[in-house]
Amino acid sequence: MPPKRIAIVTSSTRRPRLNPTITRYVYDVLSADPTIPTTPNSDPSITDPRHITLEILDLAKQSLPLYDESVIPASLPATDPTPHYTKPHAQAWSSIVRKCDAFIFVTPQYNWSIPASLKNALDYLFHEWKGKPAGIVSYGSRGGGKAAEHLRGVLNGLRMRAVGTAPGLIIKHTGLPVGSLSEEEEQVELDARDVEGWRQAGIEGMMRNLGMELVCELDKE
């Protein structure tokens, strides 16, 4: 059996943005955890079903317009919905999501909810999400708990198996660069005081719990 693929989803799409930095933080914590059986790539020769690959899936790279499909995703054939979308971007997004076995949605809080980019990307599909394990990591000035709550409701609507642990990262000091910037200059460095705050709040332990909960869900399949 090939390794199970967990996609860590970068949800905001503006520039510059903090989301890629938080996504990388989640990736680093989980890939450094010896109890989570990760493998560095999707090597099909690895036959141990406990093996997991972690990969980053950035919504900004999917170029999804605001939902413009005439079909209702839940009404498409469950076993092979992809060719039934009418737009090439929806078909492309469908085939990407179908190949992933589980997801960790890393989301900021925008006005007490999730960014429209994430809701839009979720709305595009149904069967590709349905039944798959999902984790939530939120961030914001108070940890983004309201975004996490809204997202849990949406994931339930998509019949995903959202796990319980949902770390919320409080951002107090990390800032975004301003001005007209190149892609390299847009990279955001985490402020050490925020990282220390997360450490004291046990955020890394929560992330590892979340990772193990996903692995347990995948092991049930």
**Which of 4, 9, 12, 125 is close enough to bind ligand FMN by CB under 6 A?**
12
Bridge-based pairing of strands 133-140 and 52-58 is unpaired
User: Which ranges in 32-126 belong to alpha helices (H)?
Assistant: 88-98, 116-123
- Among residues 18, 26, 29, 207, which is the contact residue for ligand FMN, using CB under 6 A? 18
3-state SS, residue 57: strand
Task: Give how far Cα 4 sits from Cα of 31, 54, 80, 163, Å.
Answer: 14, 9, 20, 17
Minimum gap (Å) between residue 14 Cβ and ligand FMN: 5
Query: What DSSP designation does 118 have?
Result: H
- Residue of 4, 6, 19, 52 that binds ligand FMN (CB under 6 A): 19
Interface region with ligand FMN, contact rule CB under 6 A, candidates 71-79, 105-113, 194-202, 205-213 = 105-113
The verdict on 138 binding ligand FMN (CB under 6 A) reads: no
Q: Identify which of residues 39 and 62 has a Cβ nearer to ligand FMN in the complex.
A: 62
Asked if 117 touches ligand FMN (CB under 6 A), the answer is no
- Residue choice 109, 128, 137, 138 for contact with ligand FMN (CB under 6 A): 109
- 145-179 in b/e form (b: 16+ CB < 10 A) is ebbbbbbbebbeebebbbbebbbbbbbeebeeeee
Where do contacts with ligand FMN occur on this chain (CB under 6 A)?
12, 14, 17-19, 108-112, 140-142
